[in-house]
Structure 1
Amino acid sequence: MTQIPDLAISAAKVAAILSKARQFDVKDVVTDPDSGSNASDDGMLSVLEDHADDPVRTELTAIIRGLNEDEQIDLVALAWLGRGDGDVDDWEDIRAEAARAHNKRTAEYLLGTPLLGDYLEEGLTQLGHSPEDFEQPA
């Protein structure tokens, strides 16, 4: 039987990141970067676009940068596990590779990963956690 690894990052932190990542994942490319119109004039479509000053991006970046190095490594390893770079039996190798690749751009790297929220959820599921364990209370 496979031993489930202990994570340096808490369930609450993963839940917050997963929730914000899902909000960020739905963002679309900017279609009118020089729009001078009021958001209400364009049907509020600009809130669904990935602008550099987007509050979801800003908050998600701050959360990830606020993690210590071990928590950031676990987060990257969870994303890699969830995207299919191995399975639970490969956790130590995946985590070791995440540690080797770790740098000061973890937030930017993760925000550049399409489907980050899905990958994190899948990684947690593979480690024996149900998605309900990580839901934020309403």
Structure 2
Amino acid sequence: MMDITPASVVQVILLARDLPQSGAQLHEFIAGLNEEEKPQLTAIAWIGRGAFEAEEFDEAVATAIAEATTPTEDYLMGMPHLAENLEAGLEALEIDVSGEEEDLL
């Protein structure tokens, strides 16, 4: 079960699409996530990037926690194709966010 809401992931995707204009806002939004949500966001991005399979979500979260050496917001903002990785991760996890995106636009 995920603590991070689909709406939060979609918010990160939308902000990441607008980089560099939304950089400060994206940084602040990710920094404001709680300690359960941050590694889950990282895990979703890793699944989307192909580093983990969808069924390895819990393992990806545990790895994100164990290997965190920089703030999550700095790590994710340095990830090439963050928005695309998150979108692919949500799709792999079969999380439908079509309504979430419409609400945020």
The alignment's TM-score, normalised by the length of structure 1, stands at 0.69
Q: Which residue of 1 aligns with 2:76?
A: 110
Take 2:33 and 2:97, find their aligned partners in 1: how far apart are those partners? 21
Which residue is 1:83 aligned to?
A: 49
Residues 15 and 136, structure 1, Cα contact 8 Å, conserved in 2: no
Distance in 1, matches of 2:29 and 2:81, equals 18
Q: State the 1:112 CA deviation.
A: 0.4
Q: Tell me, yes or no, if the aligned pair for 1:21 and 1:116 is still in contact at 8 Å.
A: yes
Q: Deviations over 1:84-129 (max 9, x none)?
A: 0121122221111011123551111100001000000111111112
Residue correspondences, number: 104
Name the CA distance, whole Å, in 2 between partners of 1:88 and 1:120: 12
Q: Aligned partners of 1:133, 1:127: CA distance in 2, in Å?
A: 16
Higher Cα Rg: structure 1 or 2? 1
Would you say 1:10 and 2:5 are equivalent positions? yes
Structure 1 gaps of 5+ residues are 1-5, 25-49
TM-score calculated relative to the size of structure 2: 0.89
Percent of aligned pairs with the same residue? 32
Equivalent in the alignment of 1:30: none
CA distance in structure 1 between the partners assigned to 2:100 and 2:89 by the alignment: 12
C-alpha RMSD of matched pairs (Å): 1.6
Contact 2:7 2:97 in 1 (8 A): no
Letter in 1 for 2:98: E
